[in-house]
Amino acid sequence: MDLIFLLQDVINGILMGSIYGLVALGLTLVFGVLKIINFAHGSFLMVGMYVAYWIVAYTGLHPYLALFLVAPIMYFFGYQMQQWLIRPIFVAERDVREPITVIIVTTGVWYVLDNLALLLFGPDYRALSPNPLKGEMIEIGEILISTPKLFGFIITVLTAAGLYWFLLKTRMGRAIRATSLDRDAASLMGISQWKIFNVAFGIGTAIAGIAAVVLVPVYNVYPTVGVPFDVKSFVIVVLGGLGSIPGALLGGVIIGLIESIGPNFMTSTWTEAIVYGLFLLVLFFKPSGLFGQKYDW
Amino acid sequence: MTPQSFKKTGLALLVLTALALPLILRSPTYLHILIMLYLYAYMTTTWNLVGGFAGVLPLGHSVFVGIGAYTSTVLWLQWGISPWIGMLVGGCLAGFVAYLIGKPTLKMRGAYFALATMAFVEGVRVIVENVDQLGPFKLNGPRGLNIPPLPAGEGSLLAFQFATKEPYYYIILFMLMGVVYLTWRLSRSKLGYSLSAGGEEPEAAEALGVNVAKCKVTAMVLSAFLTALAGTFLAQMTLFIYPKSVLTLDLSFELAFIALIGGRGSLAGPIIGALMLRPVTEFSRIYLSATLPGMHLILLGVILIVVMLYQPRGLSEPLTRLFNRLQDRICSTKTGGAK
């Protein structure tokens, strides 16, 4: 096998993996603060993709400019979702730190959203149009790099850096970190737990929106598009350590690499089995993942 | 009439009705719906042994259904071993797998266990879909396995195939009654108390000398064994199994949904949940799917969200309250008269 092809696969794997990492980033943030797993995260990504798709289809905006509309819309969506659906569970089960009921309610949200999309938009696979990025490639020597995926990588890095800056330097970011460490102590310091939960959930959903904008130029939109990303995000966050931001990105890149290099050595469907196998190995031998805190499992 | 005898009469009436139903209901379509209802009630009851009593959320029980279905079918197709024996072999195999997966994962916190079991189903499905031949066993990959039907109109107990629906109805009814009785006995045993104590307050239970992890593993193995039996039944009912029918997340989720809507950890919960959800899914799938695709899943999701928000312990709780009030009224008027 040619080394140059391997190199190309490695680069592709890193680029695609960083987009997986971006999806998982929203999930891991929500887990870090609320200690719940949002099973509807993939559906939020799907909603974001439809929003981006329709904005571009109606206004003819450049897909990346749509970001400035999609992210606030998704933030609002997530904020309200937390306020009206998940908060009541926390109120009802005050003494439980990580209520399992949330998994079930968010699964319900997943079913409703996916099938609502099916009902409204039909099962068609929609490709973005107008799509100025379609099939765009950058050539470096013999290596071909997909431009939208490269932009995806850059946007992922910027988003992660922005999130870091926000969490470390702003007042709200500090309040979020305090709540994630100890919500009772944070409440005693005058931080409104509910507001923080809403904001964190909103940001997590907005990140799903950013990922949606990144994906729309390279990926078809259809009602169940979120499901493979949902399951993949679970694998990624557990691999990287639930609640860890670098863990999510690194986990994403690992999965991306397995998927892009794997098919050189085996049938591509087997790579999927390897991903799950790796996931189970991590769960058995290091359940806290690569960067997770032991306390959280 | 004492409360005890009231309960016993009610239960006897319920069982008699269930036994007599095929005599009144001659339509195979309705019998089939009832059989599927009992089958789901059965699988949810076995799910409940882990998901309800042990206080964790298993999302991978379709693996055990799949192991049961595949084991008995492979044994029957390749060596002509009766599915009844295959059923037990599949159960033991499922129990063994449950031990392997449960031992390390049941120590983890709730969310991790749910994710681990989910990934396990997906992993097993991917492997089965990619394997035509596993050692000496022919699995046929994504195409699945066909059980050749007996000549029309013939039935054989040994082959676990019947010409009419009635035998299937009675088999699954007895399986359901058996597993409900077993759960009832278990909930009053030492293991049952240890499980619910470990599920509610693991630290407190440990302090009292309960080996919480070991109890949970025991429950998981037992649950897997019983769930696999349903897999064999399903295979013999449909005579066709493939990875996407028995090894899916959808089936795992549906069991969890039925249990949670009915009431997890309660004896009547799975049955109430199956009674509520199965007809909703069956009928909306039949009548709505042509005009409104996906409508039955939207309904399912909405029911799930509403029940979880307003009755987090499931529908069995308000129904039990209603039943108790009825019981009080009837019993107190009778005893009042005797005074």
- Comparing B48 with B107, the larger pLDDT belongs to B48
Are A223 and B294 a contacting pair at CB < 8 A? yes
Query: What's the pLDDT at A1?
Result: 57
A99 lies in some domain: yes
Mean pLDDT score of chain B, rounded to an integer?
85
Using an 8 Å CB-CB cutoff, list chain A residues near B108.
283, 287, 297
* B191 in Cβ contact with B57 (< 8 Å): no
Measuring CA to CA, which residue among A180, A243, A147, A165 is closest to residue A33?
A180
Query: What's the pLDDT at A89?
Result: 84
ipTM reported for the complex, 2 dp: 0.84
B280 lies in some domain: yes
Spatial separation of the C-alpha atoms in residues A199 and A119, rounded to whole Å: 30
- A253: Cβ–Cβ under 8 A, 6 or more apart, which residues? A13, A14, A17, A18, A20, A21
- Comparing B135 with A148, the larger pLDDT belongs to A148
Per-residue pLDDT for B209 more than 90? Answer: no
Query: What's the pLDDT at B203?
Result: 77
Are B129 and A269 a contacting pair at CB < 8 A? yes
* A67 in Cβ contact with A158 (< 8 Å): no
B269 lies in some domain: yes
- Comparing B2 with A83, the larger pLDDT belongs to A83
Are A238 and B115 a contacting pair at CB < 8 A? yes
Query: What's the pLDDT at A294?
Result: 56
A250 lies in some domain: no
pLDDT in tens, chain A (297 residues): 578 888 888 998 999 999 999 999 999 999 888 888 899 999 999 999 999 999 998 888 888 888 899 999 999 999 999 999 888 888 877 666 566 788 888 999 999 999 999 988 888 888 887 777 777 788 877 788 888 888 889 999 999 999 999 999 999 999 998 888 888 888 888 888 889 999 999 999 999 999 999 999 888 899 989 888 888 898 898 888 888 888 899 999 999 999 888 888 877 778 888 888 888 888 778 777 777 665 543
Are A231 and B122 a contacting pair at CB < 8 A? yes
A152 lies in some domain: yes
Task: Domain of residue A168: give its range.
Answer: 13-227
A136 lies in some domain: yes
A290 lies in some domain: no
Query: What's the pLDDT at A47?
Result: 95
Spatial separation of the C-alpha atoms in residues A253 and B34, rounded to whole Å: 49
Give the number of C-alpha atoms closer than 13 A to the C-alpha of residue B318, restricted to the C-beta side.
8
Distance from the A118 Cα atom to the nearest Cα atom in chain B, whole angstroms: 7
**DSSP per-residue codes, A261-285:** HGGGTS-HHHHHHHHHHHHHHHHHH
Distance from the B272 Cα atom to the nearest Cα atom in chain A, whole angstroms: 18
Are A115 and B301 a contacting pair at CB < 8 A? yes
B63 lies in some domain: yes
Query: What's the pLDDT at B221?
Result: 94
Are B120 and A107 a contacting pair at CB < 8 A? no
Instruction: Identify the residue whose tokens are 């089965």.
Output: B128
Please state the domain count of chain B. 1
| pTM given for the model | 0.88
Spatial separation of the C-alpha atoms in residues B178 and B172, rounded to whole Å: 10
Residue of A118, A267, A280 lying closest to B293 (CB–CB): A118
A275 lies in some domain: no
Query: What's the pLDDT at A160?
Result: 92
Give the mean model confidence (pLDDT) for residues B66-80: 91
Query: What's the pLDDT at B204?
Result: 80
Distance from the B194 Cα atom to the nearest Cα atom in chain A, whole angstroms: 20
Nearest CA in chain B to A36: B111
Show which of residues 66-125 on chain B sit within 8 Å of chain A, judged by CB atoms: 104-105, 108-112, 114-116, 118-120, 122-123
**How many contacts, defined by CB atoms under 8 Å, are there between A and B?**
129
Using an 8 Å CB-CB cutoff, list chain A residues near B120.
276, 280
Q: How many residues does chain A have?
A: 297
Are A112 and B129 a contacting pair at CB < 8 A? no
B25 lies in some domain: no
Query: What's the pLDDT at A52?
Result: 93
Summarize pLDDT for B227-282 with one digit per residue, the tens. 999 999 999 988 888 888 888 888 898 899 899 888 888 888 899 999 888 888 77
Are B111 and A85 a contacting pair at CB < 8 A? no
A276 lies in some domain: no
Spatial separation of the C-alpha atoms in residues A178 and A168, rounded to whole Å: 11
Give the mean model confidence (pLDDT) for residues B11-40: 86
Query: What's the pLDDT at B335?
Result: 52
* A138 in Cβ contact with A161 (< 8 Å): no
Task: Domain of residue B41: give its range.
Answer: 31-147+154-338
Burial class (CB in 10 A: 0-12, 13-18, 19+), A170: exposed
Angle A41-59/A226-240 helices, nearest 10 degrees? 130
Q: Cα-flanking dihedrals φ and ψ of residue A169, to 5°?
A: -105, -25
Using an 8 Å CB-CB cutoff, list chain A residues near B260.
104
Spatial separation of the C-alpha atoms in residues B245 and B271, rounded to whole Å: 22
- Comparing B202 with A146, the larger pLDDT belongs to A146
Measuring CA to CA, which residue among A17, A231, A224, A20 is closest to residue B122?
A231
Please state the domain count of chain A. 1
B8 lies in some domain: no
Are B293 and A296 a contacting pair at CB < 8 A? no
A204 lies in some domain: yes
Query: What's the pLDDT at B337?
Result: 45
Distance from the A60 Cα atom to the nearest Cα atom in chain B, whole angstroms: 30
B324 lies in some domain: yes
- Alpha-carbon distance values, B127 to A266, A272, B124, B247 (Å): 13, 9, 5, 11
Using an 8 Å CB-CB cutoff, list chain A residues near B265.
none
**DSSP per-residue codes, A115-163:** HHHHHHH-S--B--SS-TTTT-EEEETTEEEEHHHHHHHHHHHHHHHHH
Are A111 and B256 a contacting pair at CB < 8 A? no
For the domain that residue B266 is a member of, what is the CATH number? Answer: 1.10.3470
Query: What's the pLDDT at A205?
Result: 95
**DSSP per-residue codes, A205-252:** HHHHHHHHHHHTTTS-B-TTTHHHHHHHHHHHHHHH-TT-HHHHHHHH
Give the number of C-alpha atoms closer than 13 A to the C-alpha of residue A25, restricted to the C-beta side.
30
Joined together, the tokens standing for residue A257 give 């690499």
pLDDT band at B2; cut points 50, 70, 90 = confident
DSSP state letter for B154: -
Spatial separation of the C-alpha atoms in residues A4 and A6, rounded to whole Å: 5
Q: Cα-flanking dihedrals φ and ψ of residue A149, to 5°?
A: -70, -35
